[in-house]
Chain A
Amino acid sequence: MVTTLQDSSAQVVRGPATTAPPPKRRRKGPASRRNDTWVAWLLVAPALLGFGVFFAYPMLRGVYLSFTEFHILSPPVWTGLENIQELIDDGRFWHSLGVTAYFVVLSVVLGVGVSLVTAVVLHRLGVNTTVRGLMILPFLISGVVTALVWTWMLDPQLGIVNQLITWVTGEPIMFFGSDSWAVPSLAALNVWKSMGYNAVLIFAGLQTIPATIYEAGRIDGASEWQMFRSLTLPLLRPILVMVVILNVIGSTQVFDIVQVSTKGGPADASLVLQMYIYDKAFGQFDFGYAATMSLSLFLMLVTVTFTQMRMARAGESDTS
Chain B
Amino acid sequence: MNLSMKLGRGVAWGYLVVVLLVTIFPFYWIVRTALSNNFAMSTDPSSLLPVDFTWGPFKRALGLATPAEAAAEGGSGASIDLALALWNSIVYAGLLTLFTVVFSALAAYAFARLHWKGRDVVFGVLLTALMVPSVFTLLPNFVLMKDLGLLNSFGGMILPGAFFSAFNIFFLRQFMLGLSNEVEEAAIIDGAGPLRVCFRIVLPMSVAPMATLTLLTFITTWNDYFWPLLVTNDESVRPLTLALAVFKQSSPQASLDWAGLMAATLVAALPMLLLFVVFGRRLVNSIGFTGIK
- A residues near B (Cβ < 8 Å) are 3-4, 7-8, 11, 15, 25, 28, 32-33, 35-37, 39-41, 43-44, 46-51, 53-55, 57-59, 61-62, 65, 72, 114, 117-118, 121-122, 124-125, 127, 129-138, 140-145, 148-150, 152-153, 155, 157-160, 163-164, 167, 192, 195-197, 200-205, 207-208, 224, 239, 242-243, 249, 252-253, 255-256, 259-260, 274, 277, 281-282, 287, 290-291, 294-295, 297-298, 301-302, 305
A40:B188 contact, CB within 8 angstroms: no
Contacts A57-B144, A291-B139: A41 and B291 contacting too (C-beta < 8 A)? no
A-B contact pairs, 17 of them (CB 8 A): A4-B189, A40-B119, A47-B106, A54-B164, A58-B143, A61-B140, A133-B284, A136-B276, A136-B280, A140-B223, A140-B283, A142-B268, A145-B269, A153-B26, A153-B29, A157-B45, A274-B135
- Starting from the known contacts A117-B15, A129-B284, A133-B281, 14 additional A-B residue pairs (CB-CB under 8 Å) come to A4-B186, A25-B189, A46-B106, A47-B163, A53-B163, A58-B137, A72-B146, A137-B23, A140-B283, A142-B224, A144-B268, A167-B46, A205-B292, A295-B136
Contacts A25-B189, A48-B122, A224-B8: A134 and B103 contacting too (C-beta < 8 A)? no
B16 an interface residue at 8 Å Cβ cutoff? yes
B114:A294 contact, CB within 8 angstroms: no
B177 / chain A contacts, CB cutoff of 8 Å: none
A148:B261 contact, CB within 8 angstroms: yes
Most chain A C-beta atoms within 10 Å of own C-beta, residue among B26, B27, B226, B280: B26
A204:B226 contact, CB within 8 angstroms: no
**Contact residues, B233-273 vs A (CB, 8 A):** 241-242, 244-245, 248-249, 258, 261-262, 265, 268-269, 272-273
Number of interface residues of B (CB under 8 A): 104
A39 / chain B contacts, CB cutoff of 8 Å: 110, 114, 193-195
In the complex, what distance in Å separates the CA atom of A55 from the CA atom of B163? 11
B185 an interface residue at 8 Å Cβ cutoff? yes
A44:B135 contact, CB within 8 angstroms: no
A47 / chain B contacts, CB cutoff of 8 Å: 103-104, 106-107, 126, 163-164, 169
B262:A149 contact, CB within 8 angstroms: yes
Contacts A200-B284, A203-B288, A294-B135: A137 and B262 contacting too (C-beta < 8 A)? no
| Cβ distance A238 to chain B, nearest Cβ, rounded Å | 10
A159 / chain B contacts, CB cutoff of 8 Å: 45
Which of B42, B109, B126 is the one whose CB lies under 8 Å from A158?
B42
B140:A44 contact, CB within 8 angstroms: no
| Nearest 9 A/B pairs, CB to CB | A50-B163, A50-B164, A204-B288, A142-B223, A58-B140, A47-B107, A201-B291, A256-B225, A163-B46
A148:B193 contact, CB within 8 angstroms: no
In the complex, what distance in Å separates the CA atom of A127 from the CA atom of B20? 12
A255:B163 contact, CB within 8 angstroms: no
In the complex, what distance in Å separates the CA atom of A202 from the CA atom of B242? 32
B249 / chain A contacts, CB cutoff of 8 Å: 260
| Cβ distance A303 to chain B, nearest Cβ, rounded Å | 12
Contacts A142-B223, A142-B268, A297-B135: A43 and B281 contacting too (C-beta < 8 A)? no
A195 / chain B contacts, CB cutoff of 8 Å: 19, 23
| Cβ distance A242 to chain B, nearest Cβ, rounded Å | 7
| Cβ distance B70 to chain A, nearest Cβ, rounded Å | 19
